[in-house]
Amino acid sequence: MPLAERGVDAGLLSGIITAVDDYTVGFTLREISSGGTEERERRFTARFADPNVRYLIESGEFPLLERFMSGAIELPQPDYERGLAWLLDGFAARLIS
């Protein structure tokens, strides 16, 4: 049954539509500007050459970031469907509670 027929507030429905639209547009723009997998990985690695980021990594307060840098965790590839599912799951959880 459509959410509107279940009595879901029009403002919430509008917010859901806007969030999905924002996610889709943002994902698309990031993909267009990334230049492909190799370029994306190069930019990701270059961010960690910044002295401020290196300081944070070396502080030991960000072990997950350190694992990314050491190659112990593979750089995730963009996955539109997975991200959209997470977003929609969040909406579903809100509507159920």
73-87 mean pLDDT: 84
Residue pLDDT, tens place only, 10-52: 888 899 999 999 999 999 888 888 777 677 777 777 777 788 8
pLDDT given for residue 97 in this prediction: 66
pLDDT given for residue 47 in this prediction: 73
Q: Which two tokens stand for residue 44?
A: 């990701």
> Does 42 map to a domain?
yes
What range defines the domain where residue 60 resides?
Answer: 36-97
> Does 79 map to a domain?
yes
Report angle CA 52, 57, 62 to the nearest 5 degrees: 125
Helix (H, G, I), strand (E, B) or coil at 74: coil
> Does 89 map to a domain?
yes
Judge whether 46 and 37 are in contact, CB under 8 Å.
no
> Does 25 map to a domain?
no
Query: How many domains is the chain partitioned into structurally?
Result: 1
- Phi/psi at 7 (nearest 5 deg)? 90, 15
> Does 16 map to a domain?
no
> Does 93 map to a domain?
yes
> Does 54 map to a domain?
yes
- Could you tell me what percent of the chain has a pLDDT over 90? 27
